[in-house]
Amino acid sequence: MRSHYRLLSFDGDMTLWDFEAGMRASLDATRRLLIERRPQMADTLADIQPMIAIRDRLLADPGAAGLSFAEIRRRAFQTLLAEYDAPDDALAAELYDAYLQHRFDTTPLYADTAALFTSLDPALCLALLSNGNTHPKHLGIADRFDVIAFADDTHRPKPAPDLFEYAFERLGCRADETMHIGDSLETDIAGANTVGATSVWLNRDGRPNDTAIVPDHTVASLAELDALR
């Protein structure tokens, strides 16, 4: 894909790789590990729904504002043990480590991701700007990016401008030379719109836009980016 843009920036989770599939498979593997350690929890943990419910509850807690997704997940395992059996911080840490390693090992790339990289103009700069914690090295694509940046103590998560501005500074590109592609209206599209980059909403599932956030473009597949050059 040849382009008048100098920089393409991408979200990671649910944009380049299927985080949801990896997360669910990894929670199930961790659930089975927990039952090995605590057999009395087998009836309670017939599936992963209690684990998801606790995470969602923690995410919705105003007191969790500013916590990383990694910290939320750690606390979710602590809460699961405390509420359904007995507190055990050491076991919670073991579960978190097992969950994370399984997710890094098994999260799949979308089929259109590999094809995208082969079609791009080599002169384009590429950046990964993620609020998550899956490093593309675990999926074998880290070498595709000129900049990889995650929300952390020095970079506020999207839609804050920090990750975008970091990429602009590192690569010597301007916002009006940048196209940002992501699946989240609230983080990716709002963030790109705020800094003045071209925003592309990757809407793989045909979800309705029930927000006031307006992307510059909407695509159902990364293959459609070629038409936006």
- Asked if residue 142 and residue 80 are part of one domain, the reply reads no
- Asked if residue 214 and residue 142 are part of one domain, the reply reads yes
Q: Determine which helix (DSSP H) or strand (DSSP E) holds 8, and give its type and residue range.
A: strand 7-10
162-168-173 Cα angle (round to 5): 160
For residue 1, pLDDT over 60 is answered with no
For residue 206, being part of any structural domain is answered with yes
Locate tokens 């609020």: which residue? 131
- Measure the N-to-C terminal CA separation of the chain; round to a whole number of Å: 7
- Asked if residue 60 and residue 122 are part of one domain, the reply reads no
- Asked if residue 91 and residue 113 are part of one domain, the reply reads no
Instruction: Out of 87, 106, 125, pick the residue that ends a domain.
Output: 106
pLDDT given for residue 81 in this prediction: 98
- Which of 221, 164, 154, 155 has its CA nearest to residue 188? 164
Q: 163-218: per-residue pLDDT in tens?
A: 999 999 999 999 999 999 999 999 999 999 999 999 999 999 999 999 999 999 99
Distance of CA 97 to the CA centre of its chain: 18
- Asked if residue 78 and residue 163 are part of one domain, the reply reads no
How far is Cα 42 from Cα 135, in angstroms, rounded to an integer? 32
- Which of 123, 136, 129 has its CA nearest to residue 157? 129
Q: 125-144: per-residue pLDDT in tens?
A: 999 999 999 999 999 999 99
Instruction: Out of 75, 106, 137, pick the residue that ends a domain.
Output: 106
For residue 2, being part of any structural domain is answered with no
- Asked if residue 172 and residue 92 are part of one domain, the reply reads no
Q: 39-61: per-residue pLDDT in tens?
A: 999 999 999 999 999 999 999 99
Instruction: Out of 106, 135, 164, pick the residue that ends a domain.
Output: 106
For residue 82, being part of any structural domain is answered with yes
- Asked if residue 123 and residue 134 are part of one domain, the reply reads yes
- Asked if residue 122 and residue 11 are part of one domain, the reply reads yes
Number of domains in the chain: 2
How far is Cα 168 from Cα 149, in angstroms, rounded to an integer? 12
pLDDT given for residue 66 in this prediction: 75
pLDDT given for residue 22 in this prediction: 97
Residue spans of alpha helices (H) in 107-159? 111-119
How far is Cα 122 from Cα 1, in angstroms, rounded to an integer? 9
Integer-rounded Cα radius of gyration of the chain? 19
The parent domain of residue 70 ranges over 20-106
Residue-by-residue DSSP string for 35-75? HHH-GGGTTTTSSSHHHHHHHHHHHH-GGGTT--HHHHHHH
What value does the mean pLDDT take over residues 148-156?
Answer: 88
pLDDT given for residue 75 in this prediction: 97
pLDDT grade for 2, boundaries at 50, 70 and 90: very low
- Asked if residue 122 and residue 208 are part of one domain, the reply reads yes
- Asked if residue 146 and residue 38 are part of one domain, the reply reads no
Q: 12-32: per-residue pLDDT in tens?
A: 999 999 999 999 999 999 999
Q: 72-115: per-residue pLDDT in tens?
A: 999 999 999 999 999 999 999 999 999 999 999 999 999 999 99
pLDDT given for residue 3 in this prediction: 63
Structure token digits, residue 78: 């602590």
Secondary structure of residue 214 in the 3-state scheme: coil
Answer with the residue of higher pLDDT: 112 or 65: 112
